């Protein structure tokens, strides 16, 4: 009798951002909420303070990227992310507006996906330094599906002029998460 090997959970990359309330706390709470239920957190970037893009008359954001593994299908992962946003007080008033938390699915394995709820890889990933800088910190050589380019190549070619400044190292984020669990 031949046994099937265990299914390997695909890796996914998420972008997290916040610019209302206690931004650091909102990001830490979102990371904690992602844990479990078929999701395993992997490498975390540091926290970056970034100028808002789109609607610029709002507070600066804190942004980061996390690598995770999950057996959840893409739409179930998206639903879980939206539940976390709702739990943390996200209200969708306007596109590119201020928010307590924002979770975006950037890439999931080698998947290219397009439907009314989800597009993978994220359609504006290559245009946003606030995503590419922390993404490059944790996976510079990751080839973004459908682009033929790595994250570091996309960052090199990105024309986004908005400021992206490291505030907390990945180690400081992990320490804060451990303290929050205690």
CATH number at residue 170: 3.30.70.560
- Structure confidence at residue 4 (pLDDT): 53
User: What's residue 87's pLDDT?
Assistant: 87
* Helix, coil or strand: residue 47: strand
> What is the per-residue pLDDT for 18?
93
Rounded Cα–Cα distance for residues 63 and 157 (Å): 20
- Residue 5: predicted pLDDT: 52
Decide: residue 107, CB within 10 A, 0-12 exposed, 13-18 middle, 19+ buried: buried
**Is residue 17, in this structure, part of any structural domain at all?**
yes
Alpha helices by DSSP H, 44-150: 74-87, 129-139
pLDDT value at residue 63: 96
Residue pair 106/122 in contact (Cβ under 8 Å)? The answer is yes
**Catalytic amino acids?**
90, 99, 102, 104
Q: Tens of pLDDT along the chain (182 residues)? A: 455 555 566 899 999 999 988 999 999 999 999 988 789 999 999 999 998 887 767 789 999 999 999 989 999 999 999 999 888 876 655 555 567 899 999 999 899 999 999 999 999 999 999 999 999 999 999 999 999 999 999 999 999 999 999 999 999 999 988 887 76
Residue 86 lies in a domain: yes
d(CA 160, CA 32): 30
Give the predicted TM-score (pTM) of the model: 0.90
pLDDT of residue 145: 95
E runs forming strands in 31-130: 39-44, 47-50, 61-70, 102-108, 113-114, 119-120
Overall domain count for the chain:
1
Task: Answer whether residue 63 is part of any domain.
Answer: yes
Residue 1 lies in a domain: no
What's residue 182's pLDDT?
Answer: 64
Domain, as residue range, for 75: 11-123+163-177
DSSP β-ladder status, 11-18 and 61-70: antiparallel
Domain assignment of residue 74, yes or no: yes
Asked if residue 139 is part of any domain, the answer here is no
Residue 135 domain flag: no
Asked whether residue 109 is domain-assigned, the answer is yes
Q: Please give the pLDDT value at position 123.
A: 93
């Amino acid at each position: 009798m031949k046994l099937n090997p265990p299914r390997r959970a695909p890796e996914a990359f998420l972008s997290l951002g916040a610019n209302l309330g206690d931004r650091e706390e909102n990001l830490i709470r979102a990371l904690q909420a992602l844990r479990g239920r078929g999701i395993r957190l992997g490498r975390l970037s540091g926290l970056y303070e970034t100028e808002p893009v789109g609607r610029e008359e709002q507070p600066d954001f804190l942004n980061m990227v996390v690598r995770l593994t999950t057996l959840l299908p893409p739409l179930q992962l998206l639903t879980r992310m939206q539940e976390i946003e709702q739990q943390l007080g996200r209200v969708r008033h306007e596109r590119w507006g201020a928010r307590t938390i924002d979770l975006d699915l950037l890439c999931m394995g080698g998947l290219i996906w397009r439907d009314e709820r989800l597009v993978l890889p994220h359609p504006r990933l290559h245009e946003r330094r606030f995503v590419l800088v922390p993404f490059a910190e944790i996976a510079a050589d990751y080839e973004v599906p459908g682009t033929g380019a790595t994250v570091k190549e996309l960052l090199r070619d990105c024309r986004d002029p908005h400021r992206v400044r490291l505030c907390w190292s990945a180690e400081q984020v992990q320490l804060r998460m451990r303290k929050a669990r205690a």
